[in-house]
């Protein structure tokens, strides 16, 4: 294991060092530094970000016991100034330490074993064994985790030998060879880990679970720490305040008001549908008035079918209902004319596309101007059928 600066002295984020090896690959130049400052991706934690000689570091990886830094451009000199992005490093440290604490509490309180960890730019996740975990445990776990954060327990790292049974980790798989790097939270947890960590639980700041979901045979738990939790709280508070203002009520009565409004909306929609049906039947009878072919326009797509049905039931043989760029063509079923086939063979010629069954079909026109010539053509085809 390389004793790197990110382990020995994590607050050091900038230094001048030398490139000791360069390898040229398709994706850029991979360089090895005399003194490794950047954390290489591993153990669920992404690599550090930053610059080497002003060139952005695209990724950092460990291979053959060396740390390689991928650079899109090759530095001209071997002596280089390196700068790690401190904000990203801190985000990784907070969330990785938060993960250890969260995993330890889940295991201690509910026997839920962590089998996966992912640290992203905006949040982190752990995968817990068992797909059907009841969500009632979340606030209990959050309370315990945040109490440990407030107790500001020490977080320490040390190397132990594989024979040091006295200090064996409480969680996680032990590597088969070499020394074990052990990350411990005083009185709570110890686990083998190669990541970077804060030095006490207080530095995690605040840990909040934001959602859970079932993934294969596991439950995936999304969580955020530190300022991300604070910013998330601010955002949710803003949304809640704006909603409460919209409903002219307090935050605590909001849920009840939204539920009541949802129920009222459902009733209104039902009433509206009934009225639309009545209106369609009334207007269809005057529109139909002995006509063989009727065209009409509606404002909403969901009403197209309603109007076509109402017109056909008034004795119309072919109804064309227009809604914006869309046309619905439907006939009474006793015409020797295949509507879907007609659309399939003719619509494209007029700039439309669509299809349908023998009695009904829809055509969509990206350019609404092209609808009228298509309907004129349809009318002439139907006139020929009528008189043929
Ligand atoms: Zn870890």
**Is it the case that residue 133 has pLDDT exceeding 80?**
no
Q: Is residue 254 part of a domain?
A: no
Q: Is residue 138 part of a domain?
A: yes
Residue finishing a domain among 60, 84, 108: 84
Rounded-to-integer distance, Cα 319 and Cα 298, Å: 13
In angstroms, what is the span from residue 6 Cα to ligand 1's centroid?
A: 15
Are 24 and 107 members of one domain? no
Over the chain, what is the mean pLDDT? 91
In angstroms, what is the span from residue 102 Cα to ligand 1's centroid?
A: 11
**Is it the case that residue 24 has pLDDT exceeding 50?**
yes
Mean pLDDT value across residues 2-24: 88
Into how many domains does the chain fold? 3
Q: Is residue 340 part of a domain?
A: yes
CATH of the domain at 161: 3.30.980.10
- Give me the domain span that covers residue 141: 90-242
In angstroms, what is the span from residue 195 Cα to ligand 1's centroid?
A: 5
In angstroms, what is the span from residue 349 Cα to ligand 1's centroid?
A: 63
In angstroms, what is the span from residue 318 Cα to ligand 1's centroid?
A: 70
Write down the pLDDT at residue 175.
64
At a CB cut-off of 8 Å and minimum separation 6, what does 151 contact? 201
In angstroms, what is the span from residue 380 Cα to ligand 1's centroid?
A: 75
In angstroms, what is the span from residue 118 Cα to ligand 1's centroid?
A: 10
Full strand arrangement of the beta sheet holding 207-215? 114-119, 124-129, 218-225, 207-215
With CA atoms as reference, report the closest residue to 24 among 64, 71, 67.
Answer: 71
Are 134 and 113 members of one domain? yes
Q: Is residue 248 part of a domain?
A: no
pTM over 0.85: no
At a CB cut-off of 8 Å and minimum separation 6, what does 192 contact? 169, 172, 173, 174, 175, 180, 181, 182, 183
pLDDT, tens only, 295-353? 999 999 989 999 999 999 999 999 999 999 999 999 999 888 999 999 999 999 999 99
Write down the pLDDT at residue 126.
96
Residue finishing a domain among 242, 264, 295: 242
CATH of the domain at 72: 2.40.30.130
In angstroms, what is the span from residue 154 Cα to ligand 1's centroid?
A: 15
Helix, coil or strand: residue 133: coil
In angstroms, what is the span from residue 197 Cα to ligand 1's centroid?
A: 8
> Among all chains, which residue has been given the structure tokens 């500001």?
152
Mean pLDDT value across residues 277-292: 86
Beta-bridged to residue 118, according to DSSP, are 125
Q: How does residue 163 score in pLDDT terms, banded at 50, 70 and 90?
A: confident
In angstroms, what is the span from residue 212 Cα to ligand 1's centroid?
A: 20
Are 98 and 74 members of one domain? no
In angstroms, what is the span from residue 200 Cα to ligand 1's centroid?
A: 15
Are 77 and 98 members of one domain? no
Rounded-to-integer distance, Cα 58 and Cα 166, Å: 41
Mean pLDDT value across residues 11-22: 94
Are 222 and 305 members of one domain? no
User: In whole angstroms, how large is the CA radius of gyration of the chain?
Assistant: 34
Are 354 and 301 members of one domain? yes
With CA atoms as reference, report the closest residue to 185 among 95, 294, 104.
Answer: 104
Write down the pLDDT at residue 132.
64
Q: How does residue 203 score in pLDDT terms, banded at 50, 70 and 90?
A: very high
Q: Is residue 255 part of a domain?
A: no
Q: Is residue 178 part of a domain?
A: yes
Are 230 and 99 members of one domain? yes
Q: What six digits make up the tokens of 257? A: 């008001």
Write down the pLDDT at residue 3.
65
Rounded-to-integer distance, Cα 312 and Cα 293, Å: 10
Q: Got the DSSP string for 21-90?
A: EEEEETTEEEEEESS--SPPSBTTBPPP-EEETTEEEEEEEEETTEEEEEESS--SSSEEEEEE-HHHHH
With CA atoms as reference, report the closest residue to 120 among 6, 8, 220, 13.
Answer: 220
Mean pLDDT value across residues 75-102: 96
In angstroms, what is the span from residue 34 Cα to ligand 1's centroid?
A: 26
In angstroms, what is the span from residue 57 Cα to ligand 1's centroid?
A: 23
Residues, the chain:
388
In angstroms, what is the span from residue 192 Cα to ligand 1's centroid?
A: 7
Are 237 and 289 members of one domain? no
Are 160 and 64 members of one domain? no
At a CB cut-off of 8 Å and minimum separation 6, what does 268 contact? none
In angstroms, what is the span from residue 21 Cα to ligand 1's centroid?
A: 29
pLDDT, tens only, 349-377? 999 999 999 999 999 999 888 899 999 99
Are 58 and 106 members of one domain? no
Q: Is residue 33 part of a domain?
A: yes
Query: Percentage of residues in the chain with pLDDT exceeding 70?
Result: 96
Better-predicted residue by pLDDT, 7 or 225: 225
CATH of the domain at 343: 3.10.310.30
**Is it the case that residue 1 has pLDDT exceeding 50?**
no
Write down the pLDDT at residue 288.
85
In angstroms, what is the span from residue 336 Cα to ligand 1's centroid?
A: 73
In angstroms, what is the span from residue 288 Cα to ligand 1's centroid?
A: 75
Are 229 and 349 members of one domain? no
pLDDT, tens only, 53-78? 999 999 999 999 899 999 999 999 99
In angstroms, what is the span from residue 245 Cα to ligand 1's centroid?
A: 44
**Is it the case that residue 180 has pLDDT exceeding 50?**
yes
Are 224 and 306 members of one domain? no
Q: Is residue 204 part of a domain?
A: yes
In angstroms, what is the span from residue 190 Cα to ligand 1's centroid?
A: 10
In angstroms, what is the span from residue 99 Cα to ligand 1's centroid?
A: 7
Rounded-to-integer distance, Cα 364 and Cα 369, Å: 12
């Amino acid at each position: 294991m390389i004793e790197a600066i990110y382990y020995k002295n994590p607050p050091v984020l900038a230094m001048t060092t030398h490139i000791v090896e360069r390898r040229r690959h398709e994706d850029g130049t991979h360089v090895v530094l005399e003194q490794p400052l950047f954390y290489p991706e591993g153990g669920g934690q992404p690599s550090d970000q930053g610059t080497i000689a002003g060139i952005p570091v695209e990724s950092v990886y460990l291979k053959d016991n060396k740390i390689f830094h991928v650079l899109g451009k090759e530095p001209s000199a071997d002596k280089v100034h390196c700068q790690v992005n401190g904000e990203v490093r801190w985000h990784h440290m907070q969330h990785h330490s938060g993960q250890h604490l969260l995993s330890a509490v889940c295991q201690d309180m509910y026997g839920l074993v962590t089998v996966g960890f992912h640290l992203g730019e905006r949040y982190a996740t752990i995968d817990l064994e068992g797909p059907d975990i009841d969500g009632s445990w979340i606030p209990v776990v959050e309370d315990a985790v945040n109490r440990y954060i407030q107790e500001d327990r020490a977080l320490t790292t040390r190397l132990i030998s594989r024979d040091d049974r006295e200090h064996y980790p409480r969680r996680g798989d032990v590597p088969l060879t070499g020394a074990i790097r052990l990350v411990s939270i005083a009185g709570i947890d110890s686990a083998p880990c190669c990541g970077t960590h804060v030095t006490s639980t207080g530095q995690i700041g605040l840990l909040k679970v934001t959602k859970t979901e079932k993934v294969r045979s596991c439950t995936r738990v999304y969580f955020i720490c530190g300022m991300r939790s604070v910013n998330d709280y601010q955002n949710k508070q803003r949304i809640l305040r704006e909603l409460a203002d919209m409903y002219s009520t307090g935050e605590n009565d909001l849920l009840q008001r939204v539920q009541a409004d949802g129920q009222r909306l459902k009733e209104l929609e039902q009433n509206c549908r009934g009225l639309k049906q009545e209106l369609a039947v009334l207007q269809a009878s005057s529109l139909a008035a002995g006509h063989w072919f009727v065209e009409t326009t509606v404002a909403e797509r969901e009403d197209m079918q309603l109007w076509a049905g109402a017109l056909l039931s008034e004795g119309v043989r072919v109804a064309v209902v227009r809604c914006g760029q869309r046309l619905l063509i439907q006939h009474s079923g006793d015409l020797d004319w295949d509507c879907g086939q007609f659309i399939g063979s003719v619509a494209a010629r007029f700039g439309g596309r669509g299809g349908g069954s023998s009695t009904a079909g829809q055509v969509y026109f990206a350019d609404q101007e092209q609808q009228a010539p298509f309907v004129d053509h349809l009318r002439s085809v139907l006139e020929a059928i009528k008189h043929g």
